[in-house]
Structure 1
Amino acid sequence: MNNQTFLVEIGTEELPPKTLRSLAEAFADNFTNRLNKESIIHGKIHWFATPRRLALQVEKLGTDKRSYIIKKRGPTIQSAFDANGEPTPAAKGWAHSCGIRVDQADKLITNNGSWLTYCFKKIRPCVQILLPEIIEESLARIPMPKAMQWNESKIQFIRPIHNVILLLGDTLIETKILGIYSTRTTYGHRFMGIPYFSIPHADQYQKILFTLGKVQANYHTRKEFIRKEIHKSASIIGGVVILSEELLEEVTSLVEWPVVLTGRFKKTFLRIPNEALVQTMQSHQKYFPIYNKSGELLPYFIFVSNIESKDTEKIISGNEKVLHSRLTDAEFFFQKDRYHRLEHYLPHLKRVLFQKNLGTLYDKTQRVKKLAGWIAMQIGGNVNKAQRAGLLSKCDLMTKMVFEFTETQGFIGMHYARQDGESEEVAIALREQYQPRFSGDCLPSGEISCSLAIADKIDTIVGIFSVGLHPKNDKDPYALRRAALGILRIIIEKKLPLDLHLLIHETVRLYENQLINSKTIDDIIYFVLSRLRSWYHDQGHRNDTLQAVLARRPFKLVDLDLRINAITHFRSLKQAQDLSATNKRISNILSKTTDSLNTQVNKALLIEPEEIQLADQINNLYVILPLYYADSRYQEALMKIASLNKIINSFFNKVMVNSIDKELRVNRLTLLYKFQSLFIEIADISLLKDNSSIYEK
Structure 2
Amino acid sequence: MQEATLLVEIGTEELPPKSLKNLSEAFAQNLAQQLADSSLPCGDVRCFATPRRLAIQIAKVAAQQADQVVEKRGPSVDVAFDADGKPTKAAEGWARSNGITVDQAERLTTDKGEWLLYKAEVKGQPLAELLPGFVQRALEQLPVAKPMRWGNGTVHFIRPVHTVTLMHGDQLIPGEVLGIASNNHLLGHRFHCPQGTQLTHADAYEDTLEKAWVVADFAKRRTRIEEGIASQAKQAKGKVRRDDDLLDEVTALVEWPVALTASFDKSFLDVPKEPLIVTMKDDQRYFPLEDDQGQLLPHFVFITNIESKDAAQIVLGNERVVRPRLADAQFFYESDKKMPLADRVAALDNVLFQKKLGSIKDKSDRIAEVAAGIANMLGSDEAVAQRAGYLSKADLVSQMVLEFPETQGVMGMHYARHDNEPKGVPEAIYEHYLPRFSGDILPQTIPGCAVALADKLDSLVGIFGIGQVPKGDRDPFALRRAAIGLLRIIVEKDLPLDLTDLVKLSRESFGEVLTSSSVDEDVVEFLLGRFRPWYQEQGISVDVIQAVLARRPTAPVDFDQRVRAVASFRQLPEAEALAAANKRVANILAKLDSPVASKIDSGLLSASEEFTLVKALEEAELRANDALKHNNYTGALKALAALQKPVDEFFDNVMVNADDTAVRENRQAILQRLRELFLQIADISVLN
Which category of TM-score, normalised to the shorter sequence, fits these structures?
over 0.9
Structure 1 CA distance for aligned equivalents of residues 484 and 455 of structure 2:
13
Counterparts of 1:253-652 in structure 2, within 5 Å, are 253-593=252-592, 597-619=596-618, 625-652=624-651
Of the structure 1 ranges 124-133 and 45-54, higher mean CA displacement relative to structure 2 is found in 45-54
**1:27 and 2:20 correspond:** no
The verdict on how the C-alpha distance between 1:612 and 1:58 changes in structure 2, with shifts beyond 3 A counting, is closer
Query: Secondary structure of 1:298's partner?
Result: strand
Q: List per-residue Cα deviations over 1:405-429 (Å, max 9, x = no partner).
A: 1111111111111111123422112
Which letter does structure 2 place at the counterpart of 1:170?
D
Q: Check conservation: 1:95, 1:105, Cα contact below 8 A.
A: no
Q: Check conservation: 1:243, 1:288, Cα contact below 8 A.
A: no
Partner residue of 1:177?
177
Q: Check conservation: 2:340, 2:419, Cα contact below 8 A.
A: yes
Structure 1 CA distance for aligned equivalents of residues 423 and 371 of structure 2:
17
Structure 1 CA distance for aligned equivalents of residues 369 and 447 of structure 2:
13
Structure 2 CA distance for aligned equivalents of residues 356 and 83 of structure 1:
81
Partner residue of 1:693?
none
Shift of 1:603: 2.4
Q: 5+ unaligned residues in a row in structure 2: which ranges? A: none
Shift of 1:83: 11
Q: Check conservation: 1:21, 1:49, Cα contact below 8 A.
A: yes
Structure 1 CA distance for aligned equivalents of residues 100 and 260 of structure 2:
72
Query: Secondary structure of 1:346's partner?
Result: helix
Question: Normalised by the size of structure 2, how large is the TM-score?
Answer: 0.93
Of the structure 1 ranges 289-298 and 193-202, higher mean CA displacement relative to structure 2 is found in 193-202
Q: Check conservation: 1:73, 1:116, Cα contact below 8 A.
A: yes
Query: Secondary structure of 1:261's partner?
Result: strand
Q: Check conservation: 2:388, 2:428, Cα contact below 8 A.
A: yes
Q: Check conservation: 2:163, 2:185, Cα contact below 8 A.
A: yes
Structure 1 CA distance for aligned equivalents of residues 109 and 677 of structure 2:
56
Structure 2 CA distance for aligned equivalents of residues 506 and 363 of structure 1:
16
Which letter does structure 2 place at the counterpart of 1:372?
A
Query: Secondary structure of 1:443's partner?
Result: coil
Query: Secondary structure of 1:55's partner?
Result: strand
The verdict on how the C-alpha distance between 1:79 and 1:385 changes in structure 2, with shifts beyond 3 A counting, is farther
Which letter does structure 2 place at the counterpart of 1:54?
L
Q: Check conservation: 1:508, 1:516, Cα contact below 8 A.
A: no
Structure 2 CA distance for aligned equivalents of residues 452 and 408 of structure 1:
18
Of the structure 1 ranges 82-91 and 601-610, higher mean CA displacement relative to structure 2 is found in 82-91
Shift of 1:570: 1.7
Shift of 1:625: 4.3
Shift of 1:559: 0.7
Q: Check conservation: 1:108, 1:117, Cα contact below 8 A.
A: no
Which letter does structure 1 place at the counterpart of 2:143?
P
Q: Check conservation: 1:106, 1:116, Cα contact below 8 A.
A: yes
The verdict on how the C-alpha distance between 1:100 and 1:588 changes in structure 2, with shifts beyond 3 A counting, is farther
Partner residue of 1:186?
186
Q: Check conservation: 1:188, 1:214, Cα contact below 8 A.
A: yes
Q: Check conservation: 1:259, 1:308, Cα contact below 8 A.
A: yes
Shift of 1:201: 2.5
Which letter does structure 1 place at the counterpart of 2:614?
A
Counterparts of 1:82-161 in structure 2, within 5 Å, are 104=105, 109=110, 119-161=119-161
Structure 1 CA distance for aligned equivalents of residues 490 and 629 of structure 2:
20
Q: Check conservation: 1:7, 1:166, Cα contact below 8 A.
A: yes
- Give the number of equivalent residue pairs: 687
Shift of 1:661: 1.5
Of the structure 1 ranges 498-507 and 233-242, higher mean CA displacement relative to structure 2 is found in 498-507
Query: Secondary structure of 2:15's partner?
Result: coil
Query: Secondary structure of 1:574's partner?
Result: coil
Q: Check conservation: 1:43, 1:58, Cα contact below 8 A.
A: yes
The verdict on how the C-alpha distance between 1:231 and 1:85 changes in structure 2, with shifts beyond 3 A counting, is farther
Shift of 1:595: 6.2
Counterparts of 1:71-82 in structure 2, within 5 Å, are 71=71
The verdict on how the C-alpha distance between 1:66 and 1:616 changes in structure 2, with shifts beyond 3 A counting, is closer
Structure 1 CA distance for aligned equivalents of residues 608 and 470 of structure 2:
58
Query: Secondary structure of 2:574's partner?
Result: helix
Q: Check conservation: 1:579, 1:645, Cα contact below 8 A.
A: yes
Structure 2 CA distance for aligned equivalents of residues 191 and 256 of structure 1:
11
Q: List per-residue Cα deviations over 1:257-306 (Å, max 9, x = no partner).
A: 11111011111100101001101110011110111122211110101111
Partner residue of 1:46?
46
Which letter does structure 2 place at the counterpart of 1:271?
D
Q: Check conservation: 2:77, 2:116, Cα contact below 8 A.
A: yes
Which letter does structure 1 place at the counterpart of 2:599?
Q
Percent identity of the aligned residues? 45
Q: Check conservation: 1:6, 1:59, Cα contact below 8 A.
A: yes
Which letter does structure 2 place at the counterpart of 1:449?
G
Structure 2 CA distance for aligned equivalents of residues 158 and 86 of structure 1:
61
Which letter does structure 2 place at the counterpart of 1:151?
G
Q: Check conservation: 1:342, 1:416, Cα contact below 8 A.
A: yes
Shift of 1:621: 5.0
Q: List per-residue Cα deviations over 1:182-222 (Å, max 9, x = no partner).
A: 222222222223523322332332222222x2222222221
Of the structure 1 ranges 271-280 and 631-640, higher mean CA displacement relative to structure 2 is found in 631-640
Which letter does structure 2 place at the counterpart of 1:219?
F
Structure 2 CA distance for aligned equivalents of residues 54 and 280 of structure 1:
30
Query: Secondary structure of 2:589's partner?
Result: helix
Structure 2 CA distance for aligned equivalents of residues 524 and 501 of structure 1:
9
Shift of 1:639: 2.3
Shift of 1:226: 0.8
Partner residue of 2:222?
223
Question: Normalised by the size of structure 1, how large is the TM-score?
Answer: 0.92
- State the Cα RMSD in Å: 2.7
Q: List per-residue Cα deviations over 1:11-48 (Å, max 9, x = no partner).
A: 11111111111111111111111111111122222222
